[in-house]
Each structure stands twice: as C-alpha cells, then as structure tokens.
Structure 1
C-alpha cells in the first residue's frame, strides 16, 4: 500500500533550512591574525614542521601575509609554495584557534595532512 508518505520526507522536514557547525570558526581581526602568524612562524623557526622547507623571510616581516615563493616544477609549470598555519587538532574535530594548536606547514604538507590529527 503506497500512501505517498516516506519516512525520509519526515526526517528531511525536521532539519533546519541551514545547518550551522557546532563549533563555528571564530572571526579574528587582521592585526590579531598577524600577531598569531608571527608567533607561530617564529616558534617553528619559519619552516614547515613536517618537511623542513623554509621560505626567504624579508626584513621587517610583520605577519600580515603568508610567506611563499614562486618556482617552476619539472614539467615547466609555474607553482607557488606557501608557508601556512595549520590546526594540529583540526577545527572540524574540536580543535581550538590557539597558538598551542597551530603549526607552520607548507601548502603541500598541509594538503596531505587534510583534516586528520595525530
């Protein structure tokens, strides 16, 4: 007997139109972000903690932008390698936005790590 009602429709109707994450990402002022980036990069010696790659650090670097350098790969394609901030325990798994939970990783190591944690 098909009455046109599906239990799945009941479940879908009970969900909010827009789901919010349980632990939304905090908004950080640019000046605060620069201080955090400078503190983490300095603690990690301006190098990727996984592979050890380190970009040239310009004099007077104030932390307002990620460090990086352009290069050409073995296939002749232009690439950019960046030193990024990464959550040790990902935000997705409840990791906090704190200096103790951040590390410097190059963009290729950060992409390999993804949302995993130790």
Structure 2
C-alpha cells in the first residue's frame, strides 16, 4: 500500500484587487517638474524611485489632480501610507 498523508496545505484567500486608477503619465510628468524632480520629504532625486503621491489618499476621496499630487520617493510614499500629509508647503514646493 502507498503512503497517505492527511496534511492539506492552507488555502490562501484570493488577493483583493483595488479599484485604484493609475495617475496619467502627463500628470506625473507635470507634478515631478513642478516639484523639481525630488522627493518633497527626504530630497531623493533618483528619478526611478519617484512617485506621484496623493496628498489626500484615494481611499479618503482624494483625486488625481495637480492640486492633490506631490512628489515622493518610494520609501517616503510607503512611510506615508494612507495619511493626509502635504509636504509641498513644508519643503518650499508648490502649495
């Protein structure tokens, strides 16, 4: 008789997909230019790490408009999470 195992690996629930809309590339380009192509929190200027961040997160009703976008690096964007923090006035960027 063959070997039988009653072990069943745990079933992983399906990952939830968010309904986030991507920020249009034209808007990202304008935000980066407005903010001097640097992270407004830490000053990182590595362009591959820069992200257009929502000041008011989408989950709280924020829109992908120039008035609600700021440049943050990947690390600072991750640190900020879903908080509403406007770094534009703090670091001398466009307010």
Calculate the TM-score normalised by the size of structure 2. Answer: 0.64
SS of 2:78 mapped into structure 1: helix
Tell me how far apart the structure 2 counterparts of residues 116 and 95 of structure 1 sit (CA, whole Å).
Answer: 11
Partner of 1:112: 79
Tell me how far apart the structure 1 counterparts of residues 79 and 21 of structure 2 sit (CA, whole Å).
Answer: 24
Partner of 1:85: 52
Gaps of 5+ in 2: 1-17, 86-95
CA displacement at 1:25 relative to structure 2: 3.9
CA displacement at 1:34 relative to structure 2: 1.9
Tell me how far apart the structure 1 counterparts of residues 75 and 21 of structure 2 sit (CA, whole Å).
Answer: 25
SS of 2:45 mapped into structure 1: coil
SS of 1:105 mapped into structure 2: strand
Equivalent position to 1:98, from 65, 72, 75: 65
Partner of 1:40: 31
SS of 1:104 mapped into structure 2: strand
Q: Which of structure 1's runs of 4+ aligned residues deviate more than 2 A?
A: 24-28
Bigger relative contact order, structure 1 or 2, given CA contacts below 8 A and separation 6+?
2
Gaps of 5+ in 1: 1-20, 56-66, 69-81
CA displacement at 1:26 relative to structure 2: 4.2
Larger radius of gyration: 1
Alignment of 1:27-66 (within 5 A): 33-55=24-46
Give the aligned CA root-mean-square deviation in angstroms: 1.9
